[in-house]
Amino acid sequence: MPKPLTITTAIAYPNGRPHIGHAYEAIATDVFARAARMMGRDVFFQTGTDEHGLKVAQTARGLGITPREFVDEMASYFKEMDDLLGISYDRFIRTSEPVHHAASQAIWEAMAANGDLYLDRYEGWYSVRDEAYYDESELVEGTDGAKLSPQGTPVEWTVEESWFFRLSNYQDKLLALYAEQPDFIQPESRRNEILRFVEGGLRDLSVSRTSFDWGVKVPGSPDHVMYVWVDALTNYLTGCGYPDDTERMARYWGPESDIVHIIGKDIVRFHTVYWPAFLMSANLPLPGKIFGHGFLLNRGEKMSKSLGNVADPKELAEAFGVDALRYFLLAEVGFGNDGSYSAEAIVHRTNTELGNAFGNLAQRTLSFIAKNLEGRLPEPAATADDEALLAAVREAVTDMPRAFEKLAPHEAIQSWLRACYACNAYIDAQAPWALRKTDPARMEAVLATLYVAIAELAVAISPVIPTSATALLDHMGVPADARGYGESVDWYESLRAGGFVLAAPKPLFPRLELPAEAE
């Protein structure tokens, strides 16, 4: 049996509504989770919201409401976005949940028991936006001469009593980890960045705050709340049953589990330096792989509230369709690279690839069968051409789960498209409509080949476009046991023998037009 897979997104700061970057990460992770389930794996997929910290407390105060009221409303928008986009999470975690406070206090106590926490005074440059302290040498100068964090956010000099984590003790252990598990940090470019950072030496990390109280209380130090990243990272354990549900922990966070975090490139340091150090300190298993994906840019520009170009995933999904948006984001951007989106690019890709290459192929074939055979499934009589087409489709389709497993969805989509183009070339060469009068038996054999090929293509792409693929497979009567990645099941003959009648199909991907304001 393959190992159980635990796969997570980052948990989002709910200090604003979700944007397209959040949607991108959720969609990519969802595709990996769905593909793994189709390989027969036991999958635990978690996403959620990161609700503590000064920033949330300040935003709520500015609105004249409590942090709790604020996050209750905001978290609901993230959950709504996930549900709208078909994100098949098993658990939507909110860090304000009592079980999460208990898990965070348990990991704290485990790190304390290991001698890694001590009380001291902290002075340094703190960015509220990033919830992080920076070294003087890391700061950059803004246009008006103000000091800014490396992410370009304002910093202030801050002095407070704080608990510290002995991160300095973990430099060698982390370097050994990166050497032993070369896949731990992906893609390669981000791995090199982190290696250089850790080789440069690690300073102990301030892990508690006394200046506000919207957070998880430090056990035995009621004036302190945990640094938000300690509690945020622990979300992954909470969902796996830490600390009390040992059976669940053994399954989803055990030495035998396959644990994958999908996050954006700006938070790779937190996940590949602090997080494994905390886990080592608490004597817990480590994740296997942390993938830092790239950023989505709006027509090549960084999104920001001040530029007014923050794309609302809900509006995009409503304008273009959920599956078109899912497909576009994964096909357009090599996973790991930055990418750009625009209404024109979404419309163009959807129309040419989903609409023409796949949708029309299915539409032409199925309506021809519905009309000319009155929905009776055509009789196969395979020739070398038919076998060659099915072999090409199967080769592409067997590459796809492997590409999803190595977190390369754009490669999976490329294989799939190649197979769609092969089917289009086949239908043009065989011209079944011309055979209707001259050679009806051959016409049936061609249509039967296409029927099987279309169904296999729909199964293979279903992690990316689950709603349309399922609708098509339902329409075609493809049984549930033929909808996984694995041994091919000979369903066509039994469907035909059972007298299945194909109804006239509806177009899967109606042609998109550019919205008026984008023209």
Q: Which residues bind ligand ME8 (CB under 6 A)?
A: 10-13, 21-22, 24-25, 50, 232-233, 235, 263-264, 266-267, 295-296, 303
Cis peptide before 243 (omega within 30 of 0): yes
Using an 8 Å Cβ cutoff, are 367 and 505 in contact? yes
Closest CA to 275 of 378, 184, 398: 184
What is the closest distance, in whole angstroms, from the C-beta atom of residue 24 to ligand ME8 in the complex? 5
Of 11 and 60, nearer to ligand ME8 (C-beta) is 11
Of 345 and 382, nearer to ligand ME8 (C-beta) is 345
Helix (H) or strand (E) segment spanning residue 117: strand 117-127
Q: Please identify the residue of the shown chain whose CB is closest to the bound ligand ME8.
A: 264
What is the closest distance, in whole angstroms, from the C-beta atom of residue 209 to ligand ME8 in the complex? 16
Residue 104, C-beta contacts closer than 8 angstroms, at least 6 positions apart: 216, 226, 230, 231, 234, 238
Distances (CA, A) of 354 to 24, 433, 477: 19, 23, 21
What is the closest distance, in whole angstroms, from the C-beta atom of residue 263 to ligand ME8 in the complex? 4
E strand intervals along 174-327: 185-186, 205-206, 208-209, 217-218, 221-226, 258-264, 289-293, 296-298
Of 268 and 417, nearer to ligand ME8 (C-beta) is 268
Of 253 and 509, nearer to ligand ME8 (C-beta) is 253
What is the closest distance, in whole angstroms, from the C-beta atom of residue 265 to ligand ME8 in the complex? 6
Residue 244, C-beta contacts closer than 8 angstroms, at least 6 positions apart: none
What is the closest distance, in whole angstroms, from the C-beta atom of residue 421 to ligand ME8 in the complex? 30
What is the closest distance, in whole angstroms, from the C-beta atom of residue 303 to ligand ME8 in the complex? 6
What is the closest distance, in whole angstroms, from the C-beta atom of residue 21 to ligand ME8 in the complex? 2
Using an 8 Å Cβ cutoff, are 53 and 131 in contact? yes
E strand intervals along 307-451: 339-341
By three-state DSSP, how is residue 370 classified?
Answer: helix
Tokens linked to 180: 């032993």
Of 292 and 432, nearer to ligand ME8 (C-beta) is 292
Of 251 and 271, nearer to ligand ME8 (C-beta) is 271
Separation CA 84–CA 49 (nearest Å)? 17
Of 75 and 508, nearer to ligand ME8 (C-beta) is 75
For Cα atoms 265, 255, 203, give the angle at the middle one, nearest 5 degrees.
45
What is the closest distance, in whole angstroms, from the C-beta atom of residue 269 to ligand ME8 in the complex? 11
Using an 8 Å Cβ cutoff, are 258 and 11 in contact? no
Separation CA 166–CA 238 (nearest Å)? 23
What is the closest distance, in whole angstroms, from the C-beta atom of residue 409 to ligand ME8 in the complex? 14
Separation CA 143–CA 147 (nearest Å)? 9
What is the closest distance, in whole angstroms, from the C-beta atom of residue 103 to ligand ME8 in the complex? 13
At residue 376, what are phi and psi to the nearest 5 degrees? -75, 135
